[in-house]
């Protein structure tokens, strides 16, 4: 039996393609509970961006998919309109950690 040829360079690329193609039903989405600030998704086991509990913040996964790469830990995804549950790609931007902190220190929080 021959080795199967991979369609993607790695797991992150295959997950991103699955997300973009609408086949993300393999992800489990959580509904934010009262007081929770971010939506989370449970990706297939071993996803490179998963936190220790196995979940990923939805806005980070969407931005990584949009950029076509995984996000580094020092890259923060900022919600432009301040609504952390609004994960439309046009509402998200990637900022270095220091710039993101400065932005929130100079701007009143909603």
CA–CA separation, 58 and 50 (whole Å) = 11
DSSP codes, 22-74:
T-GGGSEEPPPPTT--S-EEEPSTT-TT--TTS-EEHHHHHHHHHHTSPPPTT
Name all domains of the chain by residue range, CATH numbers in brackets: 11-106 (3.90.75)
Give the mean pLDDT of 5-28.
60
Paired tokens of 28? 């489990």
Q: What is the pLDDT of residues 32-85, one digit of tens each?
A: 666 678 888 888 788 888 889 888 898 999 999 899 899 998 998 999 998 988
pTM: 0.67
Q: Which two three-digit tokens encode residue 69?
A: 């790469």
Instruction: Provide the pLDDT for residue 30.
Output: 63
* 73 compared with 105, residue with greater pLDDT: 73
């Amino acid at each position: 039996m021959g080795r199967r040829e991979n369609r993607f360079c790695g797991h992150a690329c295959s997950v991103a393609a699955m997300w973009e193609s609408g086949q993300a039903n393999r992800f489990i989405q959580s509904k934010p509970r009262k007081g929770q600030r971010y939506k989370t998704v449970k990706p297939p086991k071993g996803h490179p961006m998963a936190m220790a509990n196995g979940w990923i913040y939805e806005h980070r996964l969407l931005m990584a998919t949009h950029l076509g790469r995984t996000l580094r830990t020092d890259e923060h995804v900022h919600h432009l309109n301040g609504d952390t549950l609004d994960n439309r790609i046009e509402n998200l931007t990637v900022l270095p950690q220091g710039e993101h902190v400065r932005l929130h220190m100079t701007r009143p929080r909603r």
